[in-house]
Structure 1
Amino acid sequence: MSDVIAGVHMDNLGSRLRDERLKAGMTLRELARQANVSPSFVSQIENGKSQPSVATLYTFSRLLGIAVDDLFDEGWAQQPVQLVDGWGPDGDKNPVNAWHPSEFANRISLVHPSHRSHLDMAEGVVWERLAATPEQGVNFMKIVYAPGATSTPGGELLSHDSYEYGYVLRGSVQVTVGTEEFLLHEGESLGFDSNIPHVLRNIGDVDFEGVWFVHGRRH
């Protein structure tokens, strides 16, 4: 796991979920009932004492009527950028400096590795946003799964209305899609319809790192 993520205390994902719940006019108990979890579990997440799994995050976002990408910690991404070996807003290695001001400037997303917004979840699962776009239901991420981590608490299969594409950077990951099981190693990739129940597991003894692109369906 990167030093940036390892050095950060649990982010305020819980407080953001609480804010979205209040905006939706939903009580804690009602969210717990609809998500089929205990009110104390929701309370622990909102108070930063527990972290949701990937499956729980998708369930909460669906019930609250928001996209998962709305939950990334924008405050972290907007911290002042420090120059690192020429990188940063004024650095000579920053690709932005190769662009002249134009009407496209507000449609370009450049993110330095040390300033990616992120989501820390249960079992050592971390999502880091690689770029932000105004398009809803799109996540372009680096994902990290600690040894033994799964995308659902009990390893049950999860489905959601999107497509997923993944590429393994380091380690390996077992991906179950429906009745098919795939073990992907460094350099291998796959894509699948996320409506098919699926689950990711790191069955290795080192962190799995990958680039993941999740694209919601257009209705």
Structure 2
Amino acid sequence: MTSPIAPQSPEDATAVNLGLQLRTARRKSGMTLRELARKLGVSPSFLSQIENGKSQPSVATLYSMAQTLGVSIDHLFESEDAPDEPAEAPADKPVADEEPGTVRRSDLGSLERVWQDTGSTGRLSVTSPGNRTRLVMDTGVVWEQLATNTAHQLDFIEIVYPPGSSSTNDERMLRHDGFEYGYLLEGELEVTFGFETFLLHAGEALGLNSSVPHLFRNLTTAPARGIWFVHHDHN
């Protein structure tokens, strides 16, 4: 005897309808999931969860989405059995929609030699916003190189974890030689280090042995931003 299917709660139905309305509005605007995510400062996976009715956005995020898509909040909550979508609207293809230079973090391994090899160990390095080398991960996480004269011994970087983002898309924990030292400027990160999981808050710092499996996740609706030093071991 088969078990009866549990009826969908009003909250679940609202989330599903809202997700459908948002996806329809996005496709009518001609934007891909990644383009909208970049404009809003969130991860594509977070937007995908919203569009699929698996997560509900905060009021602030929903307002920003409505403004960016050029629709009203009331319109997004209209009940429709099947929202009209353009017949020619292409299916979202995460790989094809990635911006040029997107890096698959799961395949990257160590951060050593990840930046363009300048070989510079000069006495002075000065960088400015908008003119720094950036790496955008497939998870939405962004790294910015803050100094170019660290050769291969160090990485001095700013990291940004958009809402809902993680170190890897498949939740695979990372491990590589060396040590990491981080100071969180704003937001909150869930840190899994070996068998331990804890929250790192703004104003807190950490140092960890990178050879121990680890993973960072932003479970909040606000970006998490920090300054990181990564020291590479050399045999």
TM-score by length of 1: 0.57
Question: Residues 55 and 107 of structure 1: is their aligned pair in 2 closer, same or farther, counting only changes over 3 Å?
Answer: farther
Distance apart, 1:154 and its partner CA: 1.3
CA distance, structure 1, for counterparts of residue 99 and residue 179 of structure 2: 30
Hey, what does 2:199 align to over in structure 1?
183
Superposition pairs of residues 14-163 of structure 1, within 5 angstroms: 51-58=102-109, 67-70=113-116, 106-163=122-179
Which has more radius of gyration?
2
Instruction: Give the AA of the match of 1:68.
Output: V
SS in 2 for 1:164: strand
Give the paired residue count: 140
> Are the aligned partners of 1:50 and 1:122 in contact in 2 as well (CA < 8 Å)?
no
Alpha-carbon offset, residue 148 of structure 1: 1.1
Contact conserved, 2:101 with 2:135, CA < 8 A, in 1?
A: no
Structure 2 segments unaligned to the other structure (5+ residues): 1-37, 40-94
Output one character per residue of 1:86-119: Cα deviation in whole Å (capped at 9) or x when no partner: xxxxxxxxxxxxxxxxxxx942101112211111
- Asked whether the 8 Å contact 1:175–1:182 carries over to 2, the reply is yes
Task: Deviation per CA, 1:161-191: give whole Å up to 9, x if none.
Answer: 1100111111000111101112011100100
C-alpha distance 166-156 of structure 1, shift in aligned 2 (>3 A): same
CA distances 1:132-185 after superposition (whole Å, capped 9, x unpaired): 124214211000011111111211211011100111111000111101112011
CA–CA separation in structure 2 for the residues paired with 1:154 and 1:163: 23
Length-normalised TM-score, structure 2: 0.53
Shift of 1:69: 2.6
Alpha-carbon distance change, 183 to 53 in structure 1, aligned in 2, over 3 angstroms? farther
Work out the CA distance in 1 between the residues paired with 2:199 and 2:115: 27
Cα RMSD, aligned residues only:
2.7
What's 2:18 paired with?
A: none
* 1:70 Cα deviation from its structure 2 partner: 3.2
1:201 Cα offset (Å): 0.5
